Amino acid sequence: MTLLGNLFGQLFGDSASEFEARGDSFASVNNWRQAHGEYERALQKTARSSPAYRRLEAKLEEARGRTYEALIEDIHSRLDMREYTFAAEQIEAARALVASPEQKDRLAACEERLHGAGRHEPRPPAATLLPPQRGEASEAGASGREAPGRGVPRPAARAETAPGASGSKTSASAAARSADLDRILDAARLADRDPKQTFMRLLDGMPLREKESRAALGPSYQEAALALAAGEAERAIELFTRLRQERPESNIVFYDLGDALRAAEHYEQAAALYIERLERSPQEWQAWYDLSQTLWSSGDREQALRVVEAGSGRCPRSGHLMAQTGVFLFKAGRAKEALEKLYLALQLDEFDDPGLYHTIASGHQHLGETEKARRGYLKALELAPQSVGTQLDYAEFLLETQDGRGALAILETAFRTMRAGTTQGVYRAYASYLSSKAHLLLGEREMALLAVSRALEDNNQSWLLPALQSQRQAVLSV
């Protein structure tokens, strides 16, 4: 019967042995879902009386168990990333594989987590909702996350990390700091012409209520905010200090004064300001947050980590403190612990945050978890499709995975985004640099040379010059 079955299989389709061989091939690379399907088809073509039947039955059972475990892991991963539709599909797939009460209970726990995924406790109200300080590599999210409760934006400092002569990986978002920096600086330069109009431009993108709260603080606040945006930190300190004496109840003025102190590198004064606040209001998450950033900026990183962890203990529902803990851990080289905190922050926050997904992608990329990193970048771009920093980091990730065509596709999107608005020159130069690397990867030497030449023309950053020159030399040597 087996011989006849295999004979008819060869005449009219695949034989049981061929299905089994394909299942073995999939199993060898841990693709258990495909292996399970192939073993199942092989078993259907094999007679029960055949000696091969029991062997296939054992292989099918092993593949079923392995597939179930892989699905459960993927479901939790999808829920961590808030990919609820995909998680629901995987739950349906896993339901067909349940073979024991213990497996049924584990799947029920996944369903319970999915059904409760949209319920988040409200986030504590921020004192201010302007973007964070631009002089640091996104403390709130290593690759672009902006925490609420921040002061007036300031000019960016020089990038902390420069690519070496070999063109080593450099975070485009850490290098460029902020996609809207040029807009802010333009606003500051126009301040003398029309201060009120410039101040309102500075508040672009804020909720109406926050704009009104700041406008209500009057001309003195506008003057201080514009001074801080223009990089005049000492003058901003003077103006905010005077304004705080007039309006001691204003949280906006308090936190903007702290930002001005940090901008001027008066870290001890800034820390004292936050400590005084915490002695009166230990449940105020933003003071913990800003104190930890101040300590980190001053170089006391161990103390900064202790402070943000203590703040998370006092304010357990603050996703911002949890995210900041993850960022500090990542910068301290503890990527796995960092990812745990960052995923937990997603569960605590009441909104999907593209910068946080970007940071999660960077963490998985650091650990070599390519597929999870890819999903993190794509989720970040889904939520913030116009984020040039994320586009460039994703292009760099694609280059690391040897996907030159994919990198060029996302770089084309980045160039279109930059053409549509005001963007820092360093973004344009870096995008051309990555474009050159992609063309070189694909063997398109002329296009690679053109792209790196354009990068050299656009570049105005001394730290980037060695990488660009190295890339040009690499192209010429081909």
Q: Is residue 165 part of a domain?
A: no
- Report the number of distinct structural domains present in the chain: 1
- How high is the mean pLDDT of the chain? 78
Cα distance between residue 318 and residue 422, in whole Å: 34
* Contact (CB, 8 A) for 16 and 22: no
- Integer Rg of the chain from CA: 27
pLDDT category at 475 given cuts 50, 70, 90 is very high
- Tens of pLDDT, residue by residue over 289-322, are 999 999 999 999 999 999 999 999 898 888 889 9
- Most confident among 68-72, 126-130, 136-140, 294-298 (mean pLDDT): 294-298
Mean pLDDT of 187-215: 67
Q: Is residue 110 part of a domain?
A: yes
- Tens of pLDDT, residue by residue over 339-393, are 999 988 888 865 567 888 898 998 999 999 999 999 999 999 988 898 898 999 9
> Tokens 């995008």 sit at which residue?
431
Q: Is residue 152 part of a domain?
A: no
Please state, for a pLDDT cut of 90, what percent of the chain lies above it.
35
Mean pLDDT of 432-460: 93
Q: Is residue 294 part of a domain?
A: no
Sequence-separated (6 or more) residues with CB below 8 Å from residue 443: none
Q: Does residue 468 register a pLDDT over 90? A: yes
Q: Does residue 206 register a pLDDT over 80? A: no
- Tens of pLDDT, residue by residue over 370-383, are 999 999 999 999 88
For residue 18, the model assigns a pLDDT of 85
Q: Is residue 194 part of a domain?
A: no
Q: Is residue 103 part of a domain?
A: yes
pLDDT category at 463 given cuts 50, 70, 90 is confident
pLDDT category at 134 given cuts 50, 70, 90 is very low
pLDDT category at 125 given cuts 50, 70, 90 is very low
Please state, for a pLDDT cut of 70, what percent of the chain lies above it.
77
The lowest-confidence range among 140-154, 289-303, 424-438 is: 140-154
Q: Is residue 461 part of a domain?
A: no
Cα distance between residue 158 and residue 459, in whole Å: 14
The amino acid present at 24, given as its one-letter code, is D
Mean pLDDT of 405-428: 85
* Contact (CB, 8 A) for 220 and 243: yes
Cα distance between residue 14 and residue 198, in whole Å: 72
For residue 167, the model assigns a pLDDT of 37
Q: Does residue 131 register a pLDDT over 50? A: no
Q: Does residue 118 register a pLDDT over 70? A: no
Mean pLDDT of 132-157: 35
Q: Is residue 92 part of a domain?
A: yes
Cα distance between residue 426 and residue 61, in whole Å: 56
Q: Does residue 70 register a pLDDT over 50? A: yes
For residue 6, the model assigns a pLDDT of 47
Q: Range of 51's domain? A: 2-115
141-160 b/e (C-beta count within 10 Å ≥ 16 → b): bbbbbbbbbbbbbbbbeebe
Q: Does residue 21 register a pLDDT over 90? A: no
Cα distance between residue 355 and residue 142, in whole Å: 8
> Tokens 């909702």 sit at which residue?
129
- Most confident among 5-19, 51-65, 260-274 (mean pLDDT): 260-274
Please tell me the number of Cα atoms within 13 Å of 254 on its side-chain side. Answer: 22
Closest Cα to residue 347, out of 372, 326, 373, 368?
326
For residue 117, the model assigns a pLDDT of 57
For residue 41, the model assigns a pLDDT of 86
